[in-house]
Structure 1
């Protein structure tokens, strides 16, 4: 019968997956698309809002340029998608940006990209869940004060789904993601038809007056206006996040993996472009407005918004405009958006553990992160991402606008270095080709990488200029700190490997001159006799028992019992006037080592093995710290001698217990 914690784990996470069935965790394209593209596809729920509310800093008229800002984002998206389709074919192992940069630009650059991607994966989860909470409160305004709790609940949900294994997440996410696409397509197509027929009305916010923020009274004129447009562009560039996840997740695709991943990237690019363009077009035609601070930037009928005013996101406003204010389709769209945003985080929960496992394999992160759990998922990486995302969400109060400022810098940092790496890759491949025809065939690929590099570098500069003081500096500090930690971990592992390398003439292969056995005695009982038997069976050069004298009466009882049983092992009493049970033993062992530095000392520690977890608090409390302290001593080994206790009444505990006669009452026992 399973214990309650184990049964609960199986109910939540599922039964273990056998290694021979690991192939079931790979996905076909129709399932991989919603799993790995949910991040990019769901960005339409917040990217238009970020473009419009950033432009709104310069007043109402500035919002009119939002379609052009969106067009610039789509150009960058097309170039990046094209470049990454090449990357997948050139590096199909699933290493993605980290592998490309490490192989072509060096280990230091690779660590920087790895740190940047890990930071952005955490932000993907936080932003997606914060946006999801925003749409929940749009449908249920009564929950407006519970945004943080809703976002955290979403993180826990998607983390649990990923702990169940990738195949489960794929089946779970395919239907809601496709449903979101269908509902959003219906919204856009219906809106376009109404616009062509003259039936498209204004958005609920169309009559609001937007006041320029401080320092932007001139609108888009001058340097301040240009910076607002650039900042809106950098905010809208969040639509490109998610591209790198597919390149990092190629091993999860069915064969041919590279071709399937490239095809999925192409479909992702087309869908993302169509959705973003459609939403921005309808927002422009309906004069939809969202602002960063409604209390300061909005005037409704000449007055600031009332205390109970709620600002609906752009998709919510379009749904009310296209389908009607009281239409059920608004709630359908809200539910579909929340579902895809919850599952969009699974994109990061797939990419982050995969990337972390590669970094761990290369000794830049703790090696536990490369181990798969019993559901064939990288359990440790999933748990780490879950905790970091929760901290980010709580720290920034689930504010989408505040989290977005941290979001995009890491993505374009990795994009830029990746394309620089691909430029070097194609140059190296071109030099290796002997025929002029083969070299000319590589020119288009090199040209795509060059255009992508220049464009991504330009976007990165724009992001740093416009968002550095808005919060991007936090991401840069996090990337630098994480990179330094990873470099330190690598140095540690390199030093350990060098120290542990075994040579044919290594002195560690020599046998010890002699072995001294020391038995720790806290009471004269069955566990001690078993430890004595094991120690004597090993035939050490010397054998002694040690008793720490913290209580004269207890020590006398031990010595008397020793004589009564005629145990043929000498006893050494270690005086401890300050009642320390660890220091005297360590000092005694050190004394043995000083006399014979080439000898080995083995300390035998009798221990109880209990059946229930709470019983661990009642036993071995002196043994555990002693064992931990002895592990720090060179030339000293500890041997744990277990004695399995049984507290079940009527249970047969074996001939040893039966022959020993009645047990003493528990309160009379001397416990190790």
Structure 2
């Protein structure tokens, strides 16, 4: 039943040979790897304005200059990552670049920062998308967390079906959003050139950092620190830019060329949309409000839906803007679902995460990584109440830390290899490293008290976990190595069969025991107090069915099964000088899963207790029951 349900939800397994057919063309890849970056325009400008609110409406005029700075930074990062794609066509992004050029520790820091970034991407995108829905349908506000979790479940199921299939599913919302935004901005510029722009009439109750209420006249001076905080929040527009460089192997051949072209498309669209939204937020006097997002305000202003009661074309276009924005934000997390499991597989391949994360699932995707990402993001959404403003401070530090390490690694690569044209490449990546490093410092200082401290703590913890896992794998490999190991002499084996009564399952287990250790089989029965008559009946039947196997009786005075078994095993081991002691557990297997709940799980607990004892082999001999 569970297998059939899995096939309905996820689909039939794909052959390994079909992996080449799961590659993405440029149009689908743009939707898969760029939805995060493109969707960030829906909240980047608003988050920048939110952090200017304490200085009052007059501070909003500085958003244009901050926007120009962010646009320049976007172009620098884009050019830098094009260089990374050329140098590392196998993908891996910041983790591979930093590991190769700066050392293992730097690579692990970059990898940990990216993993945190991808989890936050899902949480922020889903939360922001639900906020857009709430702007359109206010009664949904009471169900914000539930809608967020449902969105994560839908994304999980779609991505478990395979990257090509999920890409086809999510291409429509991405291109729908891009089309509506470009139409909105185009019509906005037409209205500006014809002198038909009127500032919006909005309430004076402004939403500031941590969703606090502020006066439009402000409560703080417009300091450099406040401007840096706003700039750092606006830099959330750059989140997801590195995704294409991480997922180069997912492109169709020639992979590097297609990835570079897709990155240019993404950067161009992102630049136009972010600049346009920031410009019209200034022209229309958009403000961070509790009950309406900035992008919704801009849409109302451009399409002429000023009172909220109009019908016809303005209402339809404003509604389409809100729906498309909510859709892109909900599917923007798909970028993380494409890159997070792939990064985990690389870390697992190198021995820094459990090996399970390096295995492909039925649909040729890293299923374990997808499930881990979904659970982590859902917990984050619940923990931070689905608030974009509360999540954003955690968001930017990891992003720009990985940016800086990647670009610094590329600088060292050009200095080391000095390939053709290395001087120009060096300058490009050096500028990228300096620019992203400065933004990293700004983010770290301005957002530290707002929640960035949590990321600063989590990254070292992740690195310690990576190194501990790697140390374990290296220790296992060393102990399992045949180097310096002499072939052992034939082993002496004695077998103990644990019995609770004499039935068909017990007889089958005893026959199996005789086959692996003829003449060296003993049976053990645990007698509880006041059950002596039951023991006598067992001994009588035992002489009829198994007279050649000694039956030992251990009495349990404290109603415990485990302690007498372990005590008996220790005594047998002390009496005999055998190399191996095998303990066999007869088990009957119910025909239906739910019937397991009707029986105790004694064998399970016995296996757990005996498994960690040296020179003990525990074998379950199943007896399958019919329906």
Using structure 2 for the length normalisation, give the TM-score: 0.94
How many Å separate the matches in 2 of 1:7 and 1:600? 42
Show the counterpart of 1:659.
none
Show the counterpart of 1:184.
181
Give the conservation status (yes or no) of the 8 Å contact 2:353–2:466: yes
Show the counterpart of 1:567.
547
Show the counterpart of 2:41.
44
Q: Shift of residue 460 of structure 1?
A: 0.7
Q: Which moved more, 1:206-215 or 1:461-470?
A: 206-215
Q: Which runs of 5+ in 2 are unaligned?
A: 208-212
Pairing 1:319–2:290 present: no
Per-residue CA deviations over 1:4-58 (Å, capped at 9, x if unaligned) read x333322222222222222222110010001100000001100010111212221
How many Å separate the matches in 2 of 1:208 and 1:602? 75
Pairing 1:77–2:65 present: no
Show the counterpart of 1:298.
none
How many Å separate the matches in 1 of 2:557 and 2:215? 74
How many Å separate the matches in 2 of 1:155 and 1:646? 40
Q: Which runs of 5+ in 1 are unaligned?
A: 292-309, 648-672
SS where residue 312 of structure 1 aligns?
coil
How many Å separate the matches in 2 of 1:538 and 1:566? 17
SS where residue 568 of structure 1 aligns?
coil
How many Å separate the matches in 1 of 2:439 and 2:486? 55
Show the counterpart of 1:654.
none
How many Å separate the matches in 2 of 1:153 and 1:549? 52
SS where residue 573 of structure 1 aligns?
strand
Aligned length: 612
SS where residue 642 of structure 1 aligns?
strand
Show the counterpart of 1:554.
534
Change (3 A) 1:168 1:204: farther
Pairing 1:506–2:486 present: yes
Q: Which moved more, 1:521-530 or 1:79-88?
A: 521-530
Show the counterpart of 1:98.
95
Q: Shift of residue 538 of structure 1?
A: 2.2
Change (3 A) 1:315 1:545: same
Give the conservation status (yes or no) of the 8 Å contact 2:583–2:618: yes
Q: Shift of residue 237 of structure 1?
A: 0.4
How many Å separate the matches in 2 of 1:148 and 1:284? 32
Pairing 1:169–2:166 present: yes
Q: Shift of residue 229 of structure 1?
A: 1.1
Pairing 1:381–2:369 present: yes
How many Å separate the matches in 2 of 1:271 and 1:156? 29
What does 1:177-576 align with in structure 2 at a 5 Å threshold?
177-205=174-202, 217=219, 219-220=221-222, 225-290=223-288, 310-325=290-305, 326=310, 327-430=315-418, 438=420, 441-503=421-483, 505-506=485-486, 509-512=488-491, 514-540=492-518, 542-550=520-528, 551-565=531-545, 567-576=547-556
Q: Shift of residue 202 of structure 1?
A: 1.6
SS where residue 243 of structure 1 aligns?
coil
Pairing 1:631–2:619 present: no
Give the conservation status (yes or no) of the 8 Å contact 1:608–1:620: no
SS where residue 12 of structure 2 aligns?
coil
SS where residue 503 of structure 1 aligns?
coil
Q: Shift of residue 113 of structure 1?
A: 0.9
How many Å separate the matches in 2 of 1:206 and 1:570? 89
How many Å separate the matches in 2 of 1:256 and 1:597? 65
SS where residue 605 of structure 1 aligns?
strand
Show the counterpart of 2:125.
128
How many Å separate the matches in 2 of 1:278 and 1:529? 79
Q: Which moved more, 1:203-212 or 1:592-601?
A: 203-212
SS where residue 586 of structure 2 aligns?
strand
Give the conservation status (yes or no) of the 8 Å contact 2:496–2:524: yes
Change (3 A) 1:428 1:597: farther
Which residue of 26, 29, 33 corresponds with 1:29?
Answer: 26
Give the conservation status (yes or no) of the 8 Å contact 2:57–2:216: no
Change (3 A) 1:445 1:352: same
Change (3 A) 1:524 1:279: same
SS where residue 546 of structure 1 aligns?
strand
Change (3 A) 1:445 1:396: same
Q: Which moved more, 1:143-152 or 1:413-422?
A: 143-152
Give the conservation status (yes or no) of the 8 Å contact 1:206–1:287: no
Give the conservation status (yes or no) of the 8 Å contact 2:494–2:578: no
Q: Shift of residue 322 of structure 1?
A: 1.2
How many Å separate the matches in 2 of 1:485 and 1:458? 28
Per-residue CA deviations over 1:283-308 (Å, capped at 9, x if unaligned) read 111121225xxxxxxxxxxxxxxxxx
Q: Shift of residue 115 of structure 1?
A: 0.9
SS where residue 640 of structure 1 aligns?
strand
Give the conservation status (yes or no) of the 8 Å contact 2:64–2:279: yes
Per-residue CA deviations over 1:558-602 (Å, capped at 9, x if unaligned) read 101012336212222122222322222222222222234452111
Using structure 1 for the length normalisation, give the TM-score: 0.88
Show the counterpart of 2:58.
61
Give the conservation status (yes or no) of the 8 Å contact 1:204–1:321: no
Give the conservation status (yes or no) of the 8 Å contact 2:37–2:239: yes
